[in-house]
A and B are shown apart, each in its own frame.
Chain A
Amino acid sequence: MGTQAPQSIDVQPDNQVPVERPRTISRTNETDPAQHGEQHEGQHYSVPLQDLKTVFPHGLPPRFVMQVKTFGEACLMVRKPALELLHYLKNTNFAYPAVRYVLYGERGTGKTLSLCHAIHFCAKHGWLILHIPDAHLWVKNCRELLQSTYNKQRFDQPLEASTWLKNFKITNEHFLSQIKVQEKYIWNKRESTEKGSPLGEVVEQGITRVKNATDAVGIVLKELKRQSSSGLFHLLVAVDGVNALWGRTTLKREDKSPIAPEELALIYNLRKMMWNDWHGGAIVLTLSQTGSLFKRSKAYLPHELLGKEGFDALDPFVPILVSNYNLKEFESCIHYYLENSWLQHEKAPTEEGKKELLFLSNANPAQLERLCAYL
């Protein structure tokens, strides 16, 4: 058992998928991300389905979710940026202030899935996962905006906050009873949460009373930040599309004047999480142009997407570049699709077919996936 490191990718020139060693090139049996190393580079590993439900209730990109449903399994490719990130996370010094890692790259290169890989690793090791799947969803297309009960200047977003709390509960069920809040929170005249009660109560309050959901989110963030330094648990803050926090919003007040991001309570609290004034965990972020507002479609560098304010807020961070597939990864991806009989075209397994796909997609993972969907 175990994996065999592929010495070289010598693709059989005949049209049949090589039956003798299908598993070695594109797959590995190692399901624990902690054991992934350089020898697994380019290979797919499958995420067990129970893990999928608990760890990623809302985290995977929609096309990937469709692929999971079609194939019946969730396979992530082990790639260099993710390996690098896992290496850093494994060597985190929990006494030091939280380090921020920013995954950046052009559109469709695999930043979100690399983030998911890291989240899976942390979940397997018992970290508390604070995953915001797409921060852009919080700054646009919001139906209800209420004036915040806690601070009159800010705005609440009950719907987004309650959906997030539900997913947060699914991911971190076992932690919610262990962590105790350290302050008394009064919701309204009749309800309050006493000091020392489990965090699960705050989350319940947010889910049931949708009006207080945003404040519940704020409390959860504050408590987790404070308590992760105590060493009870390790906290992983994972935000996809973090450039939304410092960009512009498309939301407007009743008098049609635009709202700045800091006037949204969710964004304001999330920004506080991004500071490195706490320790006992790590912060992994991705920049995303898709879904961002008022940014050029080709923008991918940190300064372009974060702006001056965002960059200065996150500085110093470790930027990790995620690029298109290299040849090995590309071959592996094609093999994976062939194995699952996703590529039905008769020319797909041939050399020219592969060359054509390579040319058309330019080894961009998202483009390749879209192209193969038609074949």
Chain B
Amino acid sequence: TAERTSKSERQMRRKALPPRAEKMAVDQDWPSVYPVAAPFKPSVVPLPVRMGYPVKRGVPMVKEGNLELIKIPNFLHLTPVAIKKHCQALKDFCTEWPAALDSDEKCEKHFPIEIDTVDYVSSGPSIRNPKARQVTLRVNCSRLNLDDHAKKKLIKLVGERYCKTTDVLTIKTDRCPLKRQNYDYAMYLLTVLYHESWKTEEWEKNKTEADMEEYIWKNSSSEKRTLETLLQINAAENKMQVNKEELLGTKEVEDYQKSLTSLKNEGENEITLSQYKESVKRLLNFTG
């Protein structure tokens, strides 16, 4: 049993230790294995993952020596256990969530304006991050106490920042160098918009049909034409000269007005078109 191997051989012959993953217990403390974002180490991760394109009807390649697994970002350092630990550690720096605000509706009700800010932490030569100055202000327009004219004016003023489906106004500011300044600017913008939309200017009287957001039947060309048609029908039947209000007040005209408005505002589909057809037939006194 004398060791006849030379020194170099002995060094080469030192057995490869089994990978650490084999020795891991199932209930070990995983956050200590991956405490920070680290590249994928196949001997440390006890999962038998495979990754790669199955060449020639084969299978994906094993994890040992797999470059693909190393290239992709992994979140092994952010398991739920790890996150729970982070939160526990951060709790010391936080205040209690108010007990009265236990549902979303209550939060909405008491705090209609929502401010989103992002803080960035990174290790590097400077702790400042230019992206941190952006502030997003979201508010639900139904909470804003606007009447019909003010709401339409507000929507026209803000343009892209208003979302029609959710009725939410979003203002993003980052023109000032500091976050606090951007927040103040966003609040200022909201105040100004609110007050301006309540005011009515001189030139707003010149609003034309092309500016209207939705179709209103009153004073439209359709109303005039319907009136003319009805007058002619009346003349044909040699009825008494009825005045404008009576003609336009009949049920048929109301039906027609409703169906036309819904057709124009909601768009055309089978239902609106067939309603429109029926109302026109009744309006024009179709027999049979």
Binding site for B on A (CB under 8 A): 87-88, 91, 93, 95-97, 99, 276-277, 279, 301-304, 312, 315-321
Contact = CB atoms under 8 A, between A and B. Distances in A.
Contacts of A301: 268, 273
Contacts, number: 61
Interface string B211-241: 0000000001110011011001100110000
Given A302-B268, A303-B268, A315-B222, A96 B232 contact: yes
**Top 7 A-B residue pairs of the complex, sorted by shortest distance between their CB atoms:** A95-B236, A301-B268, A316-B280, A97-B232, A91-B288, A91-B287, A315-B222
A98 B222 CA distance: 16
Contacts of B233: 96-97
A312 B221 CA distance: 7
B232 A319 contact: no
A316 B287 contact: no
Contacts of B117: none
Contacts of A321: 270, 273
A93 B284 CA distance: 10
Nearest to B259: A316
A361 to B, nearest CB: 22
A277 B228 contact: yes
B268 A279 contact: no
Contact of A316 (B283, B285, B288): B283
Contacts of A97: 229, 232-233, 236
B40 interface: no
B183 interface: no
Interface string B253-288: 000100010011001101001001100110111111
Given A88-B286, A93-B287, A303-B268, A279 B232 contact: yes
Nearest to A303: B268
Given A91-B287, A316-B256, 17 more contacts: A95-B237, A96-B232, A96-B285, A97-B229, A97-B233, A277-B228, A279-B232, A279-B236, A301-B273, A302-B268, A303-B267, A312-B221, A316-B225, A316-B229, A316-B283, A318-B277, A321-B273
A75 B228 CA distance: 41
Nearest to A99: B284
A316 B284 contact: yes
A271 to B, nearest CB: 14
A312 B228 CA distance: 14
A303 B228 CA distance: 23
Chain B interface size, as a band, is 20 to 34
A319 B222 CA distance: 16
Contacts of B220: 312
B222 A87 contact: no
B281 A318 contact: yes
A99 B225 CA distance: 13
A210 B103 CA distance: 81
A318 B275 CA distance: 11
B29 to A, nearest CB: 61
B276 A319 contact: yes
Contacts of B229: 97, 276, 316
Contacts of A319: 273, 276-277
30 contacts: A87-B288, A91-B286, A91-B287, A95-B236, A96-B233, A97-B229, A97-B233, A99-B284, A276-B225, A279-B236, A301-B268, A301-B273, A303-B267, A303-B268, A304-B268, A312-B220, A315-B222, A315-B225, A315-B260, A316-B222, A316-B226, A316-B280, A316-B283, A316-B284, A318-B277, A318-B284, A319-B276, A319-B277, A321-B270, A321-B273
Contacts of A87: 288
Nearest to A97: B232
A278 to B, nearest CB: 9
Contacts of A99: 284
